[in-house]
Structure 1
Amino acid sequence: MSPKVPDQHKEQRQREILSASKKVFAKKGYEATSIKDIMEATGISRGGIYDYFSNKEHIFLSLLEQSMEDNRKEIDTLLQKNNGSVWKTLLAIWDDYREAKNEDKEDSFSAAIIEYGIAHWRKPENRGYIENRYGKAAGIFSSLIQKGIDNGEFDPVTSVDDISRFMISFLDGIAISAITLTHGFMQTGKQIDLFENSMKSMLNVKEPDLSQR
């Protein structure tokens, strides 16, 4: 009978595999990455990896779930940093897209996510997951906007759900275009300025000083 591995050790090993795998996916992309690449990056045998994940896709989907949770935590952190102001938190999120021009496109996990979504949405077994992930992202933004309404910052002119979906469509579009185009060519800053003005109107922002970021 093999010895029982402590749960803490299992969680640590899973984190190690996910951390190393994320770097590989970011470097090579989803399709080009193999279990062998992950084995080499982690120093863990094939059997050792399969003790925790059934295949490459299982690892990648686990990273997507981790990414979603990280985004949620980042929003909570930004809310605290901005003393609970949802509008300033949204501005900070959008500023990240302005600053994304400094990222290395050849070493981007975001590019791997986009690659996976585009290549795998046709698979019937994946559509449910992709739709569920979109729904979770929309839910995060809807909850954030609702908090702004409850705080008295917003009095939106249309439904919270519609605004959340509009925001995702714009930000996803910027992210996808940024993979193949330069931010200068896209004029990302100007696009985000227009987007902010649109969001300001849709949310009917009531915060007194909108100039402060």
Structure 2
Amino acid sequence: MSPKVSDEHKEQRRLQILEAAERVFARKGYEPATMKDIVEEAAMSRGWIYLYYQTKEEIFVAMMEKLDQENAVRIRQLGDQTGSVWKLLELWMEEGKRELASLSETVIPAFYEFFLTGWRNERRQELLRLRYRRSIRELTALLQSGVDKGEFRPTLETGQIARIAASQIDGIHMHVLAVGAEESAAAVQIDALLAYLGTLLGVSRPASSSSH
């Protein structure tokens, strides 16, 4: 077998582990999930999995990286389709509303569990800081591209607007997980957030599509 094929095989195995882990963490959460659960879900030997990852935490962090990369690709694709940063934000928020009903069936609860229950764990907190900084940097760059295109005339620095958006989205998600989408009026909150972002960004008609 050539080195290229071998590398492809290794990558397929790695993805198989991470996809199995995603199903396990979505089903059980972070703390209750075990390496045994992931081994069984992946239908691989424990030895194979330990060639790639030594702990459940390593697998979880790698899984989050994979999902972040996939999300970044999806955002770029939406941007290419629309040609407009504001339209991209509208579509992103609409997608978020559609996902509210199934939020508890995703890995998002495990994500909050991992970081919030591990607030005394310095490694987890450093991972959270690094992930937060990267997400804010990426969102800031997206908003700044809208400024550069002449779509936005923001009333705040774009980095601050990115932080506001991130905080609001996290808050909405946590309330949905705690009391449900209907009780927390999550869809209304997302519409209100989009309108608020439109005001901060200086968009003339900030909620044109999501208000219908």
Q: Same fold (TM over 0.5)?
A: yes
Cα contact 2:115–2:124 (8 A) shared by 1: no
CA distance in 2 between counterparts of 1:67 and 1:160 reads 25
Question: Aligned-pair distance for 1:97?
Answer: 2.3
Question: Aligned-pair distance for 1:210?
Answer: 6.0
Query: Aligned match of 1:187 in 177, 185, 188?
Result: 185
Question: Aligned-pair distance for 1:209?
Answer: 8.8
SS in 1 for 2:117: helix
Residue equivalent to 1:101: 100
SS in 2 for 1:183: coil
CA distance in 2 between counterparts of 1:137 and 1:123 reads 21
Superposition TM-score, scaled by structure 1 size: 0.91
Structure 1: which 4+ aligned runs deviate by more than 3 Å? none
Could you list the per-position Cα deviations for residues 91-145 of structure 1 after superposition, in whole angstroms to 9, with x for gaps in the alignment? 111112221233162x221111111111113211222211000011111110110
CA distance in 1 between counterparts of 2:75 and 2:137 reads 13
Question: Aligned-pair distance for 1:212?
Answer: 4.3
Cα contact 1:68–1:137 (8 A) shared by 2: no
Instruction: Write the letter of the residue equivalent to 1:140.
Output: E
Could you list the per-position Cα deviations for residues 68-87 of structure 1 after superposition, in whole angstroms to 9, with x for gaps in the alignment? 111111110111221x1000
CA distance in 2 between counterparts of 1:104 and 1:169 reads 17
Superposition TM-score, scaled by structure 2 size: 0.92
SS in 2 for 1:163: helix
Residue equivalent to 1:48: 48
Moved more, 12-21 or 38-47: 38-47
Q: Give the number of the structure with larger relative contact order, counting CA–CA contacts within 8 Å between residues 6 or more apart.
A: 1
Aligned length: 208
**Does 2:137 align with 1:148?**
no
Residue equivalent to 2:13: 13
CA distance in 2 between counterparts of 1:210 and 1:168 reads 18
Moved more, 117-126 or 60-69: 117-126
CA distance in 1 between counterparts of 2:86 and 2:66 reads 25
Cα contact 1:121–1:130 (8 A) shared by 2: no
Matches within 5 A, 1:78-89: 78-82=78-82, 84-89=83-88
